[in-house]
Amino acid sequence: MTERTLVLIKPDGVERGLTGEILRRVEAKGYVITRLTKLDAAPDQLAAHYSEHEGKPFYQPLVDFMLSGPVVAAVVEGDEVIKGFRSLAGQTDPTTAAPGTIRGDLGRDWGVKVQKNLVHGSDSVESAEREISIWFG
What is the set of active-site residues?
120
Whole-angstrom distance, CA of residue 87 vs CA of residue 90: 5
* DSSP character at residue 44: H
Contact (Cβ atoms closer than 8 angstroms) between residue 22 and residue 119: yes
Report the phi/psi class of residue 132: left, alpha or beta, with left for phi > 0 and alpha for psi in -120 to 50: alpha
Neighbours of 11 (CB within 10 A): 20
Vertex 59 angle, CA 7 and 129, to 5°: 35
Nearest 10 degrees: Cα torsion 91, 106, 98, 118: 10
